[in-house]
Amino acid sequence: METSSNVIEISDVALNQIIELRNAETIPGLALGLRVAGVGANGFVYETAFVRPEDVNEGDHVEKHGDLPVAIPTTSVDQLKGSILDITEAGGLVIRNPNPATPQLTTEGAPIELTGTVEERITQLLEAHINPAIASHGGFVRLLGVDGSVAQLEMGGGCQGCGLAAMTLRDGIESAIKHNIPEIDEVVDSTDHMAGTNPYY
């Protein structure tokens, strides 16, 4: 269902980059799917994926940004209203959201505590906050290793071969790791994305 009023804004540089990624996909006419997947330690956790028009749910809010349709589930509309989709200096996708988000708590009522070595803490963060957010699209991220202040990650499932995976890594995953594990200065995506397939198709 296409609507006229926009929930989000997309900067020109972000729109051009997203359209360039979409045009590199093998299926024409894809829309950008955007939703709030949950709330993590640093606020909202977002999911982005290219979706075929027939895979957009009938009740979704759909808005046009130039040549790009953007589909947002009704459950995410209020949480995304007034947000700006932009590109960071590092080239990652970022959502500047004015709406407040309450951090997700564990069953004990306190934020998750990361303990152990750097590797153990990264693994705990991935398993507790990041993988649950991307699991609904069949994606996952695992730690390959840590070399000094650099963490090497591999993305699999729905994240392997997805044109937006690099943006997802640079923005959401990398920022979460750097924020929660101060020993890490850089996160490297070691995924062979050419070997992956996009499960949304």
Pair 146, 90 in one domain: no
pLDDT the model gives residue 191: 66
For residue 82, the enclosing domain spans 8-96
pLDDT the model gives residue 150: 93
**Domain annotation covers residue 44:** yes
Query: The domain that contains 186 carries what CATH number?
Result: 3.30.300.130
Query: What b/e sequence results for 109-143 when a residue is b if at least 16 CB atoms lie within 10 Å of its CB, and e otherwise?
Result: eeebebeeebeebbebbbebbbebbbeebebbbeb
pLDDT the model gives residue 187: 86
Pair 15, 60 in one domain: yes
Pair 122, 80 in one domain: no
Contact 83, 98 (CB under 8 A): yes
Maximum Cα interatomic distance, the chain, rounded to a whole number of Å: 50
Domain boundary, last residue among 96, 131, 160: 96
pLDDT the model gives residue 151: 93
Residue 53, CB-side half-sphere exposure with 13 Å CA sphere: 8
Angle at 49 between CA 43 and CA 50, to 5 degrees: 155
Pair 24, 79 in one domain: yes
Q: What is the mean pLDDT of each run of 10 residues along the chain (201 residues)?
A: 73 92 88 82 77 88 93 90 87 82 41 85 86 64 92 70 48 77 87 44 27
Domain boundary, last residue among 41, 63, 96: 96
Pair 84, 13 in one domain: yes
pLDDT the model gives residue 149: 94
